[in-house]
Chains A and B, each alone.
Chain A
């Protein structure tokens, strides 16, 4: 049995950090998942003029200030990527490959996905298009599979799939050295459209067409609707109310993932609101 945390926070940008700090102040047992950079967008910001109290600060310095704050509060970020979160009724199960975490409440602070979807991607989702190659690969035994990888983790998945599929294509969306098995055919080009009748049959690239039965699209981050199955999305953002509650009981969301404007202070404020409401939710469960 995994230890059950009071609150699990997914994302270490301003919304996630602010949620973590506020939940910790309220003495909750928390876990926060994120990256060493905290947030790639924050780290890369040249100059920030609208973060109260820090005029003309660079993203890199603001990130260091956030880190100092986290250290002072004894909050450690868990550098793991959550693949999926399942709402089990009165708790959540968070999956990191084969590893499992549990929490009573959940705060999503995943930011926004800038990777635009490919034409046909949504239409054929579950009908040949998938986001988890290792999950569905056995269903493509003896078939043709194409993997579109947005980072080098895709190479490992392609190697795995190639053991089952009759033919595997790999289309990298990044530059680098590709560690692929010999039988995998490397594509270069841009994906334009996914085509088929009821099921996927073709991937159209700018320079050629590929006949394929399945297409796995492996992005840097999983869109929130895929990350938490059953989560209500509206206009490509997570739908929340003023308490930052989503449609799933005990699940909150904050920051860019809930909508515009995409700003640090808004994110931090929402993270705080989400954390305080998550705390109230947990306390209400304990009274029952």
Chain B
């Protein structure tokens, strides 16, 4: 299960040593987010030990959402050593999401 992260622990969670951290910005009212959720859950299992996955509900976490100027969801960001390395906006099929993540492993 992908860990739900909040405004107050976001900064700790995006640091995972050398491991890339994939952050899913989502909200319960967003249809494409609901579709992407299970795709990312599957990928979390496939990349266990190699990639860290977390999610942020933009409704409940305005500080982080505003800091990264989330203007459309789902937005998926990849962090490395606490910094944004890459992002994609909108749903992607599993293969495309894999390709996106694998660039950063």
Binding site for B on A (CB under 8 A): 84, 86-89, 93, 95, 125-128, 130, 135-136, 138-139, 198-199, 214, 229-230, 248
- CA gap between A118 and B48 in the complex, in Å: 43
Q: Is the CB of B92 within 8 A of A139?
A: no
Q: How far is the CB of B34 from chain A (nearest CB, A)?
A: 9
The stretch of B3-11, B14-22, B23-31, B77-85 in contact with A is B23-31
- CA gap between A135 and B71 in the complex, in Å: 11
Q: Is the CB of A139 within 8 A of B32?
A: no
List the 8 shortest-distance A-B pairs measured between CB atoms, nearest first: A126-B89, A87-B93, A229-B91, A230-B93, A86-B35, A126-B72, A230-B96, A230-B92
Given A229-B91, A229-B92, verify A84-B31 contact (CB < 8 Å). yes
Contacts of A139 in B (CB 8 A): 58, 65, 70-73
24 contacts between A and B (CB under 8 A): A86-B32, A87-B93, A87-B94, A88-B38, A93-B35, A126-B71, A126-B72, A127-B69, A128-B71, A130-B71, A135-B30, A135-B72, A138-B29, A139-B65, A139-B70, A139-B71, A139-B73, A198-B69, A199-B71, A229-B92, A229-B93, A230-B91, A230-B92, A248-B93
Q: How far is the CB of A53 from chain B (nearest CB, A)?
A: 40
Q: Is the CB of B91 within 8 A of A135?
A: no
Q: How far is the CB of B102 from chain A (nearest CB, A)?
A: 15
Contacts of B75 in A (CB 8 A): 126
Q: How would residues 35 to 53 of chain B score, 1 for a CB under 8 Å from any chain A CB and 0 otherwise?
A: 1001100000000000000
Q: Is the CB of A86 within 8 A of B91?
A: yes
Which one of B30, B39, B93, B94 has the greatest number of beta carbons of chain A within 10 Å? B93
Residue in chain A with minimal CB distance to B35: A86
Q: Is the interface of A mostly helix, strand, loop or mixed?
A: mixed
Contacts of A198 in B (CB 8 A): 69
Contacts of A93 in B (CB 8 A): 35
- CA gap between A198 and B68 in the complex, in Å: 12
Q: Is the CB of A126 within 8 A of B35?
A: no
Binding site for A on B (CB under 8 A): 27, 29-32, 35, 38-39, 58-59, 65, 69-73, 75, 89-96
Residue in chain A with minimal CB distance to B36: A86
Q: Is the CB of A136 within 8 A of B91?
A: no
Residue in chain B with minimal CB distance to A92: B93
Q: How far is the CB of A140 from chain B (nearest CB, A)?
A: 8
Contacts of B95 in A (CB 8 A): 230
Contacts of B93 in A (CB 8 A): 86-89, 229-230, 248
Q: Is the CB of B58 within 8 A of A89?
A: no
Contacts of A229 in B (CB 8 A): 32, 90-93
Q: Is the CB of A126 within 8 A of B69?
A: no
Contacts of B27 in A (CB 8 A): 138
- CA gap between A169 and B71 in the complex, in Å: 18
Residue in chain A with minimal CB distance to B87: A126
Residue in chain B with minimal CB distance to A126: B89
Given A139-B70, A199-B71, A230-B92, verify A88-B30 contact (CB < 8 Å). no
Contacts of B30 in A (CB 8 A): 135
